[in-house]
Amino acid sequence: DIVMTQSPDSLALSLGERATINCTSSQSVLYSSNNKNYLAWYQQKPGQPPILLIYWASTRESGLPDRFSGSGSGTDFTLTISSLQAEDVAVYYCQQYYSTPYTFGQGTKLEIK
Amino acid sequence: EVQLVESGGGLVQPGGSLRLSCAASGFTFSSYWMHWVRQAPGKGLVWVSHINSDESKIDYADSVKGRFTVSRDNAKNTLYLQMNSLRAEDTAVYYCARRSGPAFYYNYYCDLWGRGTLVTVSS
Give, in degrees to the nearest 5, the angle at Cα B38 between B34 and B42: 150
pLDDT for residue B115: 98
CB A107 within 8 A of CB A50: no
CB-CB neighbors (< 8 A) of A61 in chain B: 111
Tell me the nearest-neighbour CA distance from B6 into chain A, angstroms. 12
pLDDT for residue A13: 97
- Which of B61, B108, B116 lies closest to A49 in CB terms? B116
Task: Count CB atoms within 10 A of the CB of residue B85.
Answer: 13
- Determine the Cα–Cα distance for residues A105 and B98; give it in Å rounded to an integer: 20
| B101: pLDDT strictly greater than 90 | no
Tell me the nearest-neighbour CA distance from B55 into chain A, angstroms. 17
pLDDT for residue A68: 98
Q: B3, B22, B45, B96: best mutation site toward chain A, by most A Cβ within 10 Å?
A: B45
pLDDT tier, A25 (very low <50, low <70, confident <90, very high otherwise): very high
Q: Taking Cα atoms as reference points, which of A41, A48, A37 lies closest to residue A23?
A: A41
| B46: pLDDT strictly greater than 90 | yes
Q: B36, B109, B110: best mutation site toward chain A, by most A Cβ within 10 Å?
A: B109
Determine if the peptide bond prior to A46 is cis (ω within 30°): no
CB B112 within 8 A of CB B4: yes
Interchain CB distance below 8 Å, B45 and A107? yes
A 71-110 → B contacts, CB under 8 A: 93, 95, 97-107
Tell me the nearest-neighbour CA distance from A93 into chain B, angstroms. 8
pLDDT mean over B87-115: 93
Q: Which residues on chain B place their C-beta less than 8 Å from a C-beta of chain A?
A: 35, 37, 44-47, 50, 59, 61-62, 95, 100, 107-116
CB B81 within 8 A of CB B36: yes
pLDDT mean over B52-61: 96
pLDDT mean over B19-37: 97
| B107: pLDDT strictly greater than 90 | no
Sign of CA dihedral B54, B55, B61, B67: positive
pLDDT tier, A53 (very low <50, low <70, confident <90, very high otherwise): very high
Q: What is the pLDDT of residues A76-113, one digit of tens each?
A: 999 999 999 999 999 999 999 999 999 999 999 999 99
Tell me the nearest-neighbour CA distance from A18 into chain B, angstroms. 24
CA dihedral A106, B97, A110, A62 (to 10 degrees): 130
pLDDT for residue B102: 82
